[in-house]
């Protein structure tokens, strides 16, 4: 299942690394593409979207 999220305060590649790691803590097999330019995060995972969103928020980012 692919989840597409917008993370407006993902400002640079360090942010996208942080977000990628936060998602991979809850699902080590998740594929994460996070682009600070488009603010778009695309995640391929079996984890429910609400759980993925919560992990990103817990890492200090907002999800719209």
Site residues (CB under 5 A) for Cu ion?
A: 11-12, 14-15
Taking the complex as a whole, how short is the minimal distance between the CB of residue 34 and Cu ion, in angstroms? 10
If the CB atoms of residues 37 and 50 are measured against Cu ion, the closer one turns out to be 37
Rounded least distance, CB 11 to Cu ion, Å: 4
C-alpha span between 55 and 5 (Å, rounded) = 12
Of residues 44, 45, 53, the one with CA closest to residue 6? 53
Beta bridge partners of 34: 41
Closer Cβ to Cu ion, 9 or 51, answer by number: 9
Residues 6+ apart with CB under 8 A from 1: 44, 45, 46
Residue 14 Cβ vs Cu ion, minimum distance, rounded to whole Å: 4
């Amino acid at each position: 299942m692919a989840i597409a999220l917008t993370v407006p305060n993902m400002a640079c590649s360090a942010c996208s690394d942080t977000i990628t790691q936060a998602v991979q803590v809850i699902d080590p097999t998740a594929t994460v593409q996070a682009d600070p330019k488009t603010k778009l995060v695309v995640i391929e995972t079996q984890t429910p979207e609400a759980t993925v969103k919560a992990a990103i928020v817990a890492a200090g980012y907002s999800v719209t």
